[in-house]
Amino acid sequence: MALAIKKVGVIGSGQMGNGIAHVAALGGFDVVLNDIAADRIKSALATINGNLSRQVAKKTITEEQRKQALARISGAERLEDLAGCDLVIETAVEKEDVKRKIFNELCSVLQPEAIIASNTSSISITRLAATTDRPERFIGIHFMNPVPRMELVELIRGIATDDATFEAAKEFVARLGKQVAVSEDFPAFIVNRILLPMINEAIYTLYEGVGNVEAIDAAMKLGAHHPMGPLELADFIGLDTCLSIMQVLHEGLADSKYRPCPLLVKYVEAGWLGRKTQRGFYDYRGDKPVPTR
């Protein structure tokens, strides 16, 4: 029998965290949004309110649903405040040591039957689960960005994840109105295993001078009907995230086809990480984005 999930904790109030809190609250769950700084939580709640209001304007939800969803979300600066949650989803940075530290502290405050999930886009669920006191109640629930708009959620079982945990996670995702794709626990799972090497290849195409930024993005938008060009998409994801996923693929699968492009490494070293730093393959500091190469 699937475990009943009523209260959901979300660790990290960044883009992914506030998106997950948003859809969980709309799905009827009580949500505790945790971050180490009060101002981050405040800004996340303002973002959620803005995104919900946009949905009201587009008539995808009612004003009443917006109010109810906001009322279901509370902020928390301490992990102890997640004690009553049935499911806690971690959305911290894509660094294994950071995630391990969080799980270590989290396990001591949670009820023994609570489920822990990671929103990691590439790190082994089996390995993360092994650092906790409940590997059978640990699962990968990988949301796509931006969470409120993207229909897919990847579910990844670790070697120890039990059936009850898997069924509970599946039911949770269904209540959010999302579709599940089940992935085996291999580096970068399904979406990023296919998407990131494509982005990396687009960066190689730029690096080798086959085409400039505009030509590459136009080619894939108009020639393959992609809604965004691969370089524009890389800027949206964050070049540091793109690089870390390519490194996980390269180390985990030991195949030279996953070698991160030196140009991607250079941009990350320069601190040009895409939209979030105002510069990446495009410069976002003016009225409209201008290619940087």
For 206-215, what is each residue's pLDDT tens digit? 999 999 999 9
Domain presence at residue 1: no
Report the alpha-carbon distance of residue 48 to residue 40 in Å, rounded.
Answer: 12
> The tokens of 229 are what?
């060009």
Asked if 77 and 37 count as a contact pair (C-beta separation under 8 A), the reply is yes
Percent helix, strand, coil in the chain (nearest 5)? 50, 15, 35
Angle at 7 between CA 2 and CA 10, to 5 degrees: 110
Percent of the chain with pLDDT over 70: 99
CA–CA distance from 50 to each of 11, 66, 165, 256 (Å)?
A: 20, 10, 33, 43
User: What is the model's pTM?
Assistant: 0.93
Q: Which residues pair with 180 in a beta bridge?
A: 153
Same domain, 173 and 228: no
Report the alpha-carbon distance of residue 229 to residue 244 in Å, rounded.
Answer: 20
**Is 225 marked active-site?**
no
**pLDDT higher than 60, residue 27:** yes
Q: Which of 122, 192, 200, 244 is catalytic?
A: 192
Domain presence at residue 156: yes
Asked if 232 and 217 count as a contact pair (C-beta separation under 8 A), the reply is yes
Backbone CA torsion sign across 86, 34, 140, 229: positive
Same domain, 155 and 227: no
**Is 250 marked active-site?**
no
Specify the number of domains making up the chain: 2
Same domain, 198 and 119: no
Mean pLDDT within 31-55? 97
Among 265, 275, 213, smallest CA distance to 238 is for 275
Of 159, 183, 207, the domain-final residue: 183
**Is 142 marked active-site?**
yes
**pLDDT higher than 80, residue 225:** yes
Side chain identity at residue 53, one-letter code: S
Confidence of residue 1 (pLDDT cuts 50, 70, 90): low
**pLDDT higher than 60, residue 68:** yes
CATH of the domain at 133: 3.40.50.720
**Is 121 marked active-site?**
yes
Average pLDDT of every residue of the chain: 96
Q: Which of 18, 34, 124, 142 is catalytic?
A: 142
Report the alpha-carbon distance of residue 283 to residue 272 in Å, rounded.
Answer: 9
Q: Which of 51, 119, 121, 124 is catalytic?
A: 121
Domain presence at residue 2: no
Residue 264: which domain range?
A: 191-291
283 vs 4, residue with greater confidence: 283
**pLDDT higher than 70, residue 2:** no
> The tokens of 70 are what?
């906001």
Same domain, 35 and 83: yes
